[in-house]
Amino acid sequence: MPLSVEDRLAIQELIARYNHAIDGGDPDGWAATFAPDGTFESRGEVHAGTEQLATFARGFQQRLPGARHWNNNLVIDGDGDQATTTCYLQLWREGQLASEGRYVDTLRKIDGQWRFASRKVVRD
């Protein structure tokens, strides 16, 4: 069954909660956007599982204070309780573009909630 409008909106909100949590210094909230066995990959590093994800997010504000994530051109494909997304990523800091790329994601619906099974930053 194709994704419903409600599923698409929930996935969009998941992506927004991810951004707000990491930018707002909420490492546990950020890790909670992932499945318990979820992975995040950026710059050749892979962080797997809730504990490693939260540890990565704890240090984010120290590494890039004041950073803000912006995503656009979101494409969502899926069926049932599985989905993929891709979108453009911009990371802003102190009013300047600090980094750009794309997110490539796989998602799973767990207990009625969408979560990232994997999220990878791709720099073309």
The one-character DSSP state at 76 is: E
Reported as a pLDDT band with limits 50, 70 and 90, residue 98 is very high
Q: pLDDT at residue 1 above 80?
A: no
Taking CA atoms, 102 is separated from 6, 55, 98, 112, 121, in Å, by 24, 23, 14, 27, 6
Q: Which domains does the chain have, with CATH numbers?
A: 5-122 (3.10.450.50)
pLDDT > 70 in the chain, percent: 100
Single-letter code of the amino acid located at 8: R
- pTM of model > 0.85: yes
